[in-house]
Chains A and B, each alone.
Chain A
Amino acid sequence: MLKRLKNNKGDAEPLFFICGIVLALILLWFALDIINLTWSRYTIRREAQTMSRLYALDWVSAVWDPDCHSSTMSACEYPNFEASKLHGDFIRITESAISNARLSDMNIMITDNEDATLADCDTQLLCIRATPGATTVRAASASILKTRLNYGTDLYITVEATAPYRYIGDTLGIRDPVYTVKNKFASERFSKDDMRGGH
């Protein structure tokens, strides 16, 4: 073929042309991957924002039932975190993010310790580990939340998610599918002791 190219007989032209077409199709397919990746990362960032906002404004719902109107606050306390409103809310947000961003797994940690990593997730204020169809949410005990959280307490959310390419990107192996977001926010609710008179 190289000899033919050198003597300019041109037989290789269609071959190069077809190679060009195949390359163009790969690039188009790759573009689909990029757009999916953009959406996945956008969804992850947005869910991180939604979760931190919900926690900042409503972490007390991990301890007390917001619909309880008993004059005795202890009567409004949830028996455990799994029974709380916040537990259900976080499961819903996580499962929605996994489904909409087509993630293969997602780990979320909320902590008041800036140096904590996801390896410490289980001992922090909130730890969520999720794969499609299986989400576990664990939170620190009510007594810890009551003593460590107050209005203005600095909090950190770390979200680590695996967003695989759907079409061709992973075949090319040009990037790490794990995406990590870390944001700082602050509690906007007072602790129980500062909330005498209702919540």
Chain B
Amino acid sequence: MKFMDKLKNNKAMITLNRVISYFILVIVLFFGIDICLFLTQSVVTSYQTAYYAEKISIQGGLLGRENILPGPINSQKTCNSCYTNSDISKTFGQTMENFGLTPYDWSIALIDSDGAKTWVHRNGTTVNPNQKLRFDYMSVNEIAITTKFTPKVSGFLWRGANISKQITFVSEYIER
């Protein structure tokens, strides 16, 4: 009743204005924090896409379960720094863990020069750890990575968004 009296005699208007203003300030602050996180995740996704494009370009595709570069018998070479299919999922997943993402929150696909899409990681797991995929020397291919952004503190304002990055690369591995 006292508050209503204050409203009637106009003495509470400044207090009310302040409460509303501070409330809006907190909402904007929460939104701002999530936008900063969104931007950071977007930048990291971009650079990770470029990194894996480069990696797959150099090793000429997917190596399956073993990190051995293909070639005729006796010419195959072990490549310790190359990524198996599971390595791609594992290392990318480790990076995305920093943003609180689970393996279900991101996907990786490769698109060859004919437009055929091969999923490397989807639905929380490496789609086919054994799958080998060879890209011809100098063929133009693409990698597509999508990560899901979920607002951490302003979920009441928006549901988040998917961050999708796609980059072309030229396969530079010559099979000997």
Judge if A197 is at the interface, Cβ distance under 8 Å: no
* A31–B39 CB distance below 8 A: yes
Judge if B128 is at the interface, Cβ distance under 8 Å: no
On chain B, which size bracket covers the interface?
A: 20 to 34
Number of A-B residue pairs, CB cutoff 8 Å, is: 75
Known: A14-B17, A92-B140, A93-B140. A50 touches B168 (CB 8 A): yes
Judge if A32 is at the interface, Cβ distance under 8 Å: yes
The segment from B25-33, B70-78, B89-97 that touches chain A is B25-33
Contact with A along B7-48 (1 / 0, CB 8 A): 000000010011011001100100110011001001100100
* B14–A18 CB distance below 8 A: no
Question: Least Cβ distance of B20 to chain A in Å?
Answer: 8
Known: A13-B17, A54-B170, A66-B138. A28 touches B32 (CB 8 A): yes
Judge if B68 is at the interface, Cβ distance under 8 Å: no
Chain A residue nearest to B14 (CB atoms) is A10
Question: Least Cβ distance of B94 to chain A in Å?
Answer: 23
Judge if B169 is at the interface, Cβ distance under 8 Å: yes
Judge if B50 is at the interface, Cβ distance under 8 Å: yes
Given A28, A38, A66, A92, which contacts B168 in the complex, CB threshold below 8 Å?
A92
Given B28, B46, B113, which contacts A92 in the complex, CB threshold below 8 Å?
B113
Contact with A along B161-176 (1 / 0, CB 8 A): 0000111111010000
Given B32, B113, B168, which contacts A47 in the complex, CB threshold below 8 Å?
B168
| A96 contact set on B, CB distance < 8 A | 142, 166-168
* A54–B39 CB distance below 8 A: no
Contact with A along B144-176 (1 / 0, CB 8 A): 000000000000000000000111111010000
Known: A24-B28, A25-B28, A96-B142. A50 touches B169 (CB 8 A): yes
Residues 137-172 of A at the B interface (beta carbon under 8 Å): none
* A21–B24 CB distance below 8 A: yes
* B28–A39 CB distance below 8 A: no
Given A32, A61, A66, which contacts B35 in the complex, CB threshold below 8 Å?
A32
| A39 contact set on B, CB distance < 8 A | 42-43, 46, 165
* Cα distance, A42 to B138, chains bound together (Å): 22
Given B14, B42, B140, which contacts A89 in the complex, CB threshold below 8 Å?
B140
* Cα distance, A24 to B28, chains bound together (Å): 8
| B172 contact set on A, CB distance < 8 A | 57
* A14–B21 CB distance below 8 A: yes
Judge if A136 is at the interface, Cβ distance under 8 Å: no
* Cα distance, A99 to B50, chains bound together (Å): 16
Which B residues have a C-beta under 8 Å from some C-beta of A? 14, 17-18, 20-21, 24-25, 28, 31-32, 35-36, 39, 42-43, 46, 50, 113, 138-140, 142, 165-170, 172
Which 7 pairs show the lowest CB-CB distances between chains A and B?
A14-B17, A17-B21, A89-B140, A58-B138, A96-B168, A35-B39, A93-B168
Which A residues have a C-beta under 8 Å from some C-beta of B? 10-11, 13-14, 17-18, 21, 24-25, 28, 31-32, 35, 38-39, 42-43, 46-47, 50, 53-54, 57-58, 61, 66, 89, 92-93, 96-97, 99-100
List 28 contacting pairs A-B, 8 Å CB cutoff, sorted by A.
A14-B17, A14-B18, A14-B20, A18-B21, A21-B25, A24-B32, A28-B32, A35-B42, A35-B43, A39-B46, A39-B165, A42-B46, A43-B167, A46-B167, A50-B168, A54-B170, A57-B170, A66-B138, A89-B113, A89-B139, A89-B140, A89-B170, A92-B168, A96-B142, A96-B166, A96-B168, A99-B166, A100-B167
